[in-house]
Chains A and B, each alone.
Chain A
Amino acid sequence: DIVMTQSPDSLAVSLGERATINCKSSQSVLYSSNKKNYLAWYQQKPGQPPKLLIYWASTRESGVPDRFSGSGSGTDFTLTISSLQAEDVAVYYCQQYDSTPFTFGPGTKVHIK
């Protein structure tokens, strides 16, 4: 099974400042045939299901504000919120969809400083 880890566990950021979340997979999720990383980022607010933000490690889902960006390849990935807004308070998860079991990281809770 691919184990996903995230850091930090929790992050306090001032409004308008940058938030950076790191994710690491225990094995590469880069598929050589298409050069794609099978890595997604989700946002989850209390009482709601996860919402897809980023897929293929760096492609923004339709409707997601451009302050959200993803980067990385292989086993190391980053989600960046360039200018934190109040509505971005949530838990953020990375997830690999390279192979079953489809595993999530433990989550990073983002709140306002």
Chain B
Amino acid sequence: EVQLVESGGDLVQPGRSLRLSCTASGFTLGDYAMTWFRQAPGKGLEWVGFIRSKAFGGTTEYAASVKGRFTISRDDSKSIAYLQMNSLRTEETAVYYCTRVPYADYGYDAFDIWGQGTMVTVSS
């Protein structure tokens, strides 16, 4: 079965760090770009960042709100993508989702596989 499973969500104090993992199964993670979204309680979906596949340089892009504090990485040999979050803020309390990004003939295809999400609570 093709699936993504996020883990690592926790209650953390403001200013602290947390690393989330996104473990893939049923497909080859290395063939896909990967992206992270988050959804604050009762709110909409916000893009966090993105990592290309190694074939396309493995480069990353981030939302302005997290740039310089969050880092996305990948270990294709373990089929895991990571989201390292530093200097967390209370307003970043949310469910964090990872999703795979298929490559299309031009650009990307829609995000067909999503994890169930992992809850990050930032509070003192």
Contact = CB atoms under 8 A, between A and B. Distances in A.
B14 interface: no
B117 to A, nearest CB: 6
A97 B97 contact: no
A95 B108 CA distance: 13
A98 B104 CA distance: 11
A107 B46 CA distance: 12
Interface residues of A, number: 27
B114 A50 contact: yes
Contacts, number: 62
Contacts of B111: 40, 50, 52, 95, 97, 102
A98 B114 contact: no
Contact of B106 (A33, A49, A50, A93): A33
B50 interface: yes
Contacts of A80: none
Contacts of B104: 36
Interface string B8-42: 00000000000000000000000000010000000
B105 interface: yes
Contacts of A34: 105-106
Interface string A21-37: 00000000001011010
A101 interface: yes
18 contacts: A33-B106, A34-B105, A36-B106, A38-B108, A40-B110, A50-B45, A52-B110, A52-B112, A56-B110, A97-B101, A97-B109, A97-B111, A102-B35, A102-B47, A102-B50, A102-B111, A104-B44, A104-B47
Interface of A: 31, 33-34, 36, 38, 40, 48-52, 55-56, 61, 93, 95, 97-107
Given A36-B106, A55-B109, A95-B111, 15 more contacts: A49-B115, A50-B111, A50-B114, A52-B111, A52-B112, A93-B45, A95-B45, A95-B110, A97-B109, A99-B107, A101-B63, A102-B47, A104-B44, A105-B44, A106-B44
